[in-house]
Structures are given as C-alpha cells and as structure tokens.
Chain A
Amino acid sequence: EVQLVQSGAEVKEPGATVKISCKVSGYTFTDYYVHWVQQAPGKGLEWMGLVDPEDGKTIYTENFQGRVTISADTSTDTAYMELGSLRSEDTAVYYCVTAYPDIVGSLQLWGQGTLVTVSS
C-alpha cells in the first residue's frame, strides 16, 4: 500500500523558517516526482513545486521562488519542503503529493496535510 505520511503541525513566528517532511512507502521513491501544494484556510489549492527524487532536480512556481526549497532524501525515502521568511499569509495546510503511478508526473496520491500557523 502506498502511503505518504507528513510531519505534524507547526506554529512559527513571522520571519521564521518551517521544514515539513513527507515519508513515502509502498513504491520505489526515486521513480516518481513528489509535489508540494499549499491550501490557505478557506482557499483553493496552489501548486508550489516538485522534486525528482532520482536526481534532486526541482521546479518551483514563481510565487514561492526564492523562499521555498524542496528536497528528497533517498536514504530514508523522505521528501522535504522548507519555506522561509514566513508571513501570516503562509498560514495554510501543506500537502505532499506523489506522482505514483503516473509516469507523466501528475499529482496522484496525497499526504494527510500539515498545518502551519504563522503567528506572533
């Protein structure tokens, strides 16, 4: 069974950095992209970026460029999303999403989400 298990909720002050993990199991981690998606309270889904775990290459959307770093650790089959210079608007649920089993790389199986609250 494919599972994506994310780390727990975080509370951060403005200006801080948060790093969320996404532990993958049930398939070969390096074979499929892992995406990250933001959902602010009461809002829609926003794609942030992805990592190819095979070679670590990343693609980010302009909206988060410069503040987000997505990475993958193939020794633990875990993807990470680090978001810096946090502001109140970054209060949201963050999802990791694997492309498994789609070789094109679309968003397929979702983690449970991690709530990040930015507040002083």
Chain B
Amino acid sequence: QTVVTQEPSFSVSPGGTVTLTCGLSSDSVSTGHYPSWYQQTPGQAPRTLIYSTDVRSFGVPDRFSGSFLGNKAALTITGAQADDESDYYCVVYMSSGIWVFGGGTKLTVV
C-alpha cells in the first residue's frame, strides 16, 4: 500500500523560510501525481493552498509556493508569520484513481 511521507514537525522563525516535503514510499512524486497542499488550524476545516504541484488557490498569498525538491513535492513558505502555525497536509493522486494523504506536518513558528 502506498505511503505518503511528510515530516512530522518543523519549526521556523518569524520572517524565515521553510520548505515542507511530500514523498512516496516506493516512487518519486511527479506532475502526474498532482500533489496538493492544505493548511489546517485546530477546529477548522482544511484550506487548500496549492494544487497540481504549483498552482496557488484563489486568495492564497504568494508567500506560499509549490515545487519539487528532488523526488518529492515541496511547499515553501517565505516570510513566515505567526498565523502560519498550523498543520500542513499533502495529497497525491495515484493511477488507480485514488488520492492518498500524507500524515501531516505540524509547523511551529517560534
């Protein structure tokens, strides 16, 4: 069974830059996996940040960007702010038609 890997936790200083990654246990992430990224704060529904690798959803500030880093999808946050402290999830599309979420990364801004 496909496992999507994310760093369990990460910390960044206010104003700093952080890159979170999203990998596959047995493959490289590619454009055909249409990787997407979501931000979730406690008690709230997730919010879509990035889809199809690097397309920013409507209203998402350009501090958030998507790309590839090696064989993984990546979400980069530049100029980190206090309210970026959230859980971040990626999801990838598999050729069988299913979508698989990563376990999420808890980002702390300190």
A-side residues, CB < 8 A to B, are 35, 37, 44-47, 49-50, 59-62, 95, 102, 104-113
B-side residues, CB < 8 A to A, are 1, 34, 36, 38, 40, 45-48, 51-52, 57, 87, 89, 91, 93, 97-104
What are 13 contact pairs spanning A and B, CB under 8 A? A44-B101, A44-B104, A45-B101, A47-B99, A62-B1, A95-B45, A102-B51, A106-B91, A106-B93, A107-B51, A107-B99, A110-B47, A110-B48
Q: Report the Cα distance A108→B57, complex, angstroms.
A: 8
Question: Chain B interface secondary structure, helix, strand, loop or mixed?
Answer: strand
- The number of inter-chain residue pairs (CB within 8 angstroms) is 62
Q: Report the Cα distance A112→B46, complex, angstroms.
A: 9
Shortest distance from the beta carbon of B62 to any chain A beta carbon, whole Å: 19
- Which residues from chain B contact A110 at a C-beta distance below 8 Å? 45-48
Shortest distance from the beta carbon of B12 to any chain A beta carbon, whole Å: 20
Q: Which residue of B lies closest to A45 (CB)?
A: B101
CB pair B97–A46 under 8 Å, yes or no, is no
